[in-house]
Amino acid sequence: MSFNNLDTLYRQVIMDHYKNPRNRGTVDGDHLAIDMNNPTCGDRIQLQLQVEDNHVKEAKFDGEGCSISMSSASMMTQAIKGKSVDEALKMSRIFSEMMQGSDIEEEDIDFGDIEALQGVSKFPARIKCATLAWKAMEKGVDEEEQA
């Protein structure tokens, strides 16, 4: 597949998650709620995580922002649901490395649609948009562990 076709496919995946977000809404029952924003562009997110037995049982988000931040939140909530907290944090670390231009070479993790965000690394101003939901997840897990 040519670079142009791949770029078009990735844009379509991002726009699909933006127009049809997965896991948008609120979590019922006990959950962590993490509010974060990106003051440089106005993106904001409220991430809600339900963690039981060190696994992410439920992950949902609400907020407003650009297609990159909202798509990334949609993709992330899909990816971490059912994962152990350690697996979710590992995914976040690898995603951050991907946003810095590194290739995904971890065979044991299926990033699925998240790979569509690789091109964001070429636009430094948009990296904070893509990582907002991931940083919220890290913050929530960190606060939960300190509680």
Return the pLDDT at 10.
85
- Determine contact, residues 127/120, Cβ cutoff 8 Å: yes
Return the pLDDT at 7.
79
CA distance 63 to 96: 21
DSSP 8-state symbol, 84? B
Q: Average of pLDDT values for 114-124? A: 91
First to last CA, the chain: 49
Q: What are the C-alpha distances in Å from 133 to residues 3, 63, 129?
A: 28, 10, 8
CATH topology of domain 3-146: Sufe protein. Chain: A (3.90.1010)
Copy the structure tokens of residue 63: 């907020």
The domain ranges of the chain are 3-146
Please state whether beta strands 32-38 and 43-52 pair in parallel, antiparallel, or not at all (unpaired): antiparallel
pLDDT tens-place string over residues 60-111: 999 999 999 999 999 999 999 999 999 999 999 999 999 998 877 765 677 8
SS3 66: coil
Q: 71 CB contacts (<8 Å, ≥6 apart)?
A: 13, 14, 15, 17, 18, 21, 116, 117
pTM for the whole structure: 0.92
